[in-house]
Amino acid sequence: MRIAVAADDAGLELKNVLSRMLSDDPRVTEVQDHGVHAPDDDRPYPPLGIAAAEAVARGEADRALLICGTGIGMCISANKVPGIRATVAHDAYSVERSVKSNDCQVLTMGARVVGPELAKRVVGEWLGHTFDPASPSAAKVARISAYEQS
């Protein structure tokens, strides 16, 4: 699985923790880091999150993991990219349903909301879930795509 990651300055430290974890995970074949890379880089979250989400939309990454202070700004930004379904989540049940019910390709988290150990646990679980296109949820997700394309 190819994962695009991005964070603003508020999320940089957690992004680095999670990127290392992803790089060590045998299920992950590539981590694409869209920045920021330094704490004095004060670029705002929207272009960073949008760049990572666009990589998913173009098929260059399978998923994206985006970090800001709350995860909310990254989520709103990623959801503006056509074809992207992004969610903020900090718990195991929500990340599971975001994939299995909603076919979300983007997970966003807040570095000011969740600690690194819980975030690592939740991201590890996120990697283990896949969407079943034959499930009853698929028709509901298709309604979202149809609206987007109308």
Ligand X SMILES: O=C[C@H](O)[C@H](O)COP(=O)(O)O
Q: Is 64 in the site for ligand X (CB under 6 A)?
A: no
Q: Is 73 in the site for ligand X (CB under 6 A)?
A: yes
Q: Is 68 in the site for ligand X (CB under 6 A)?
A: yes
90/131 with CB nearer ligand X: 90
Q: Would you give the distance in Å from CA 136 to the centre of its chain?
A: 23
64, 65, 68, 123: the catalytic one is 68
With b for 16 or more beta-carbon neighbours within 10 A and e for fewer, the 94-124 pattern comes to bbbebbebbbbbbbbbbbebbeeeebbebbb
Residue 75 designated active-site: no
| Nearest approach, Cβ of residue 45 and ligand X (Å) | 5
Q: Is 55 in the site for ligand X (CB under 6 A)?
A: no
Q: Which listed residue (47, 69, 83, 116) binds ligand X by CB under 6 A?
A: 69
Q: Which listed residue (8, 31, 105, 107) binds ligand X by CB under 6 A?
A: 8
Cα–Cα distances (Å) from 123 to 19, 28, 47, 90, 149, in that order, read 10, 12, 23, 9, 30
CA distance linking residue 73 with residue 49, whole number of Å:
9
CA distance linking residue 127 with residue 1, whole number of Å:
9
User: CB within 8 A of 143, min separation 6: which ones?
Assistant: none
66/127 with CB nearer ligand X: 66
Q: Is 54 in the site for ligand X (CB under 6 A)?
A: no
* Contacting residues toward ligand X, per CB under 6 A: 8, 10, 45, 68-70, 72-73
Active site residues: 68
